[in-house]
């Protein structure tokens, strides 16, 4: 490091500082008549009451202190120039996925041994060599570096783009010259690595076998994620074969070891010189048990297959017992009724009944013995009182209700029947308004930018009069007349009252959907708005005091399963430090038990190494002598994506090297890679850093000046001065 002084004013001022120091010292210690009783020793010449030697020493101290203090007033700067030498760096990026080891470990070990040699030679030349793999760290050898021959090739997925992007991010601005990517070129996560831009040369080493294997693969299984108890659902299997032309195979569907179906599949003969074939078959099965159900699709193995790991896939379905029952009760046929019906039918979890009070007899009255989870009332209560008996029946229950007002609505009974708003208007008078989203409404995750389309939709017909919100109500949409936004609600709700209620204060929903389709070729914005409002008022409140749930419903084998825990007292204040017992059962009935105590700082509990399967869990805790419990289910999937493709793609590696200025090497000519990297000059990078600092900020100077002053003061006192 080199340092020098920079003056913010003329350096000639230093002479002035020295002159001031000299004048001050001379004035302080000028020759004076000998003081009686001074501490001067007999026989020595004196100046100012001290002997000459002491006087000159004290004057020198005073001269240095005063001159230096004056020098600090010039505010000098210290410039420090620091030069760092950064060694060149090389990263050995090794694809340690399962597909790389599929071609055999002996050939792989030879390549890893050559990489060990390369790493040692580069280190001997003064380069920094780092190792990157997928997943966990690898073992260390005796020299302190990672032992490449001990790398476990167990990664279940391959994201080459993510690996290279991570290196680019970690080594940004550093002297990284080359990345040696050792891979078979197969990726099954992320995008192709050739799509990225990298500031370093990628030298690629191709592993694996580029010749397609004689194999049968269950490439994919397509099935619904949700099925309803008692309903049939399809399971579609996609089978790819290579080298089995002219032969046939068998595909089996099982559940809990029981065979549900079996189909034959014929592998086509050679077409256009290709020996592969593609087949699709579909099973139809019935959901007979509720909860998460585990199905297995398997292609029975054929003699001579390269691998049977890719002949089987697991399917998990959540079988739901019953749908949410919704009653759409309307006074008369209306386009809005059809619009509401279409919106609700987009959600397969709804079982919808539509009843028209003035329609044919079969459509008039709802089923007397049926209980509904949500009721939508269109133009009810009505001016003619037709709906009064039914309305009183449903108001007696706390079933959530969505009111949709129209020109036949009776506002008096409406005001006494809802907890959202009060409307005062003259009979037959209406207004034309559009809707504008209320940005202060936070109950739903709605995109305000998407809702801007509401201003382009046709106006709705609403009662003309005064609107007054009731306590606890929140506005979703305000009324807008032309370009003037009013304080009248168009769509509002109240979820704090005993009965959750929403009100759409106008008719014309059907025209909104038609216009949105004309503008965007879709009906997503209006439908999503109505669906989310309906879901908000119909959701059942969770009054459990213990809530234990996994962070996701599905996990990957080898991944930690994480549970979150919430515990409440009788007034729903959160509790902590209560021991929780968690029991997890698999499909075979094997139960694992765990005990943990959630705290305010950590309410998570992690479980590792759960094998593949569908699991049910039950958590219990004792609060004030009463046992609270929570139950649920989750799935652990064993992804076999590495077994779906074992044919190396060296073409991708060649393209990647060409794009980045590197070269491709096969595993057989690794020596050429060693020679290329070791014979190439790798200059170090010099980085210079300049720092500017005010001299007055150096704290040690204060103590140095203080020391000089203290010495002078001590000597003066010692020799009897003043």
Contact 667, 118 (CB under 8 A): no
413 found inside a domain: yes
pLDDT on residue 642:
80
CATH number, position 295: 2.60.40.10
467 shares a domain with 357: yes
62 found inside a domain: yes
In whole angstroms, how far apart are CA 52 and each of 29, 37, 259?
10, 17, 116
344 shares a domain with 438: yes
More confident residue, 370 or 468: 468
More confident residue, 154 or 275: 154
pLDDT on residue 517:
94
Q: Lowest mean pLDDT: which of 7-11, 472-476, 599-603?
A: 7-11
Structure tokens given for 184: 């078979």
Supply the pTM of this predicted model: 0.60
| Residue 462: partners with Cβ closer than 8 Å, 6 or more residues away | 405, 430, 431, 432, 433, 479, 488, 490, 505, 506
332 shares a domain with 199: no
User: Residue 142's pLDDT band (boundaries 50, 70, 90)?
Assistant: very low
331 shares a domain with 313: no
426 shares a domain with 281: no
β-pairing, 626-637 vs 554-556, is parallel
708 shares a domain with 631: no
Which residue range is the domain that position 11 belongs to? 2-81+694-718
User: Residue 565's pLDDT band (boundaries 50, 70, 90)?
Assistant: very high
pLDDT (tens digit, 9 = 90+) per residue, 193-249?
Answer: 999 999 999 999 999 888 888 889 888 898 888 888 888 899 999 999 988 888 899
pLDDT on residue 34:
45
* Total domains, the chain: 5
pLDDT (tens digit, 9 = 90+) per residue, 482-501?
Answer: 889 999 999 999 998 889 99
684 found inside a domain: no
Instruction: Classify 346 as helix, strand or coil.
Output: coil
User: Residue 270's pLDDT band (boundaries 50, 70, 90)?
Assistant: low
560 shares a domain with 509: no
Phi, psi of 260 (to 5 degrees): -100, -20
CA 118 to chain CA centroid, Å, is 38
For residue 145, is pLDDT > 80?
Answer: no
CATH number, position 355: 3.40.50.880
* Domain boundary, last residue among 272, 299, 320: 320
452 found inside a domain: yes
User: Residue 365's pLDDT band (boundaries 50, 70, 90)?
Assistant: low
143 found inside a domain: no
509 shares a domain with 386: yes
User: Residue 324's pLDDT band (boundaries 50, 70, 90)?
Assistant: confident
C-alpha radius of gyration, the chain, whole number = 41
595 found inside a domain: yes
Mean pLDDT of 688-710: 82
pLDDT on residue 244:
87
346 found inside a domain: yes
User: Residue 290's pLDDT band (boundaries 50, 70, 90)?
Assistant: confident
455 shares a domain with 351: yes
467 found inside a domain: yes
N-to-C CA span, the chain: 46
DSSP 255-282: ETTEEEEEEEEEPP--BTTB-EEEEEEE
Q: Lowest mean pLDDT: which of 9-23, 62-76, 673-687?
A: 673-687
348 shares a domain with 434: yes
497 shares a domain with 616: no
β-pairing, 546-550 vs 561-567, is antiparallel
CATH number, position 571: 2.60.40.1930
More confident residue, 385 or 379: 379
pLDDT on residue 532:
92
626 shares a domain with 672: no
pLDDT on residue 296:
93
């Amino acid at each position: 490091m080199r340092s020098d002084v920079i003056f913010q004013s003329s350096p000639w001022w230093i002479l002035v500082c020295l002159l001031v120091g000299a004048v001050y010292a001379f004035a302080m210690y000028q020759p004076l008549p000998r003081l009686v009783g001074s501490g001067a020793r007999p026989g020595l010449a004196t100046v100012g009451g001290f002997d000459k030697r002491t006087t000159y020493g004290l004057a020198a101290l005073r001269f240095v202190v005063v001159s230096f203090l004056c020098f600090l007033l010039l505010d000098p700067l210290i410039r420090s120039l620091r030069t760092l030498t950064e060694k060149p760096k090389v990263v050995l990026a090794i694809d340690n996925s399962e597909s790389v080891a599929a071609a055999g470990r002996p050939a792989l070990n030879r390549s890893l041994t050559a990489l060990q040699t390369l790493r040692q030679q580069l280190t001997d030349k003064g380069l920094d060599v780092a190792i990157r793999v997928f997943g966990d760290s690898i073992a260390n050898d005796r020299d302190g570096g990672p032992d490449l021959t001990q790398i476990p090739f167990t990664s279940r997925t391959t994201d080459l783009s993510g690996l290279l992007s991570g290196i680019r991010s970690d080594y940004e601005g550093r002297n990284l010259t080359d990345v040696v990517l050792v891979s078979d070129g197969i990726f099954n996560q992320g995008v192709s690595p050739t799509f990225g831009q990298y500031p370093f040369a990628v030298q690629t080493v191709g592993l694996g076998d580029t010749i397609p294997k004689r194999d049968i693969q269950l490439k994919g299984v397509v099935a619904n994620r949700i099925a309803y108890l008692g309903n049939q659902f399809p399971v579609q299997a996609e089978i790819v074969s290579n080298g089995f032309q002219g032969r046939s195979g068998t595909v089996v569907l099982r559940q809990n070891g029981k065979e549900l179906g079996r189909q034959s599949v014929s592998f086509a003969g050679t077409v256009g010189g290709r020996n592969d074939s593609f087949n699709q078959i579909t099973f139809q099965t019935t959901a007979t048990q509720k909860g998460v159900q585990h199905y297995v699709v398997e292609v029975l193995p054929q003699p001579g297959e390269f691998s049977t790991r890719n002949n089987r896939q697991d399917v998990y379905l959540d079988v739901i017992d019953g749908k949410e029952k919704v009653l759409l009760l309307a006074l008369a046929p209306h386009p809005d009724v059809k619009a509401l019906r279409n919106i609700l039918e987009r959600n397969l979890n709804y079982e919808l009944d539509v009843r028209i009070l003035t329609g044919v007899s079969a459509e008039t009255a709802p089923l007397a013995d049926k209980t509904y989870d949500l009721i939508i009332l269109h133009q009810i209560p009505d001016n003619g009182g037709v709906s009064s008996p039914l309305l009183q029946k449903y108001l007696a229950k706390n079933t959530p209700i969505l009111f949709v007002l129209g020109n036949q609505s009776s506002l008096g009974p409406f005001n006494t029947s809802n907890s959202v708003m009060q409307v005062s208007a003259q009979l037959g008078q209406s207004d034309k308004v559009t809707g504008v989203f209320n940005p202060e409404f936070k109950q739903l995750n709605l995109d305000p930018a998407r809702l801007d389309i509401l201003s382009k939709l046709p106006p709705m017909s609403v009662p003309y009069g005064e609107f007054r919100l009731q306590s606890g109500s929140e506005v979703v949409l305000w009324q807008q007349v032309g370009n003037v936004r009013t304080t009248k609600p168009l769509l509002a709700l109240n979820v704090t009252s005993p009965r959750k209620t929403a009100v759409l204060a106008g008719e014309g929903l059907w025209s909104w959907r038609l216009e949105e389709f004309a503008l965007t070729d879709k009906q997503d914005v209006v439908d999503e708005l109505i669906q989310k409002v309906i879901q908000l008022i119909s959701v059942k409140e969770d009054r459990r005091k213990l809530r234990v749930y996994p962070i996701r419903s599905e996990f990957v084998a080898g991944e930690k399963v994480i549970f979150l825990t919430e515990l409440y007292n009788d007034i729903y204040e959160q509790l902590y430090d209560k021991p929780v017992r968690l029991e997890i059962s698999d499909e075979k009935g094997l139960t694992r038990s765990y005990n943990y105590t959630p705290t305010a700082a950590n309410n998570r509990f992690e479980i590792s190494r759960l094998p593949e399967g569908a699991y049910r869990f039950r958590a219990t805790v004792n609060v004030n002598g009463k046992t609270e419990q929570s139950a649920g289910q989750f799935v652990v999937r064993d992804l076999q994506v590495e077994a779906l493709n074992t044919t190396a793609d060296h073409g991708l590696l060649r393209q990647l090297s060409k794009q980045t200025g590197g070269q491709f090497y096969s595993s057989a000519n690794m020596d050429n890679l060693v020679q290329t990297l070791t014979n190439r000059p790798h200059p170090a990078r010099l980085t210079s850093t300049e720092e500017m600092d005010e001299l007055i900020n150096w704290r040690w100077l204060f103590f140095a000046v203080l020391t000089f002053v203290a010495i002078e003061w001590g000597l003066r006192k010692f020799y009897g001065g003043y």
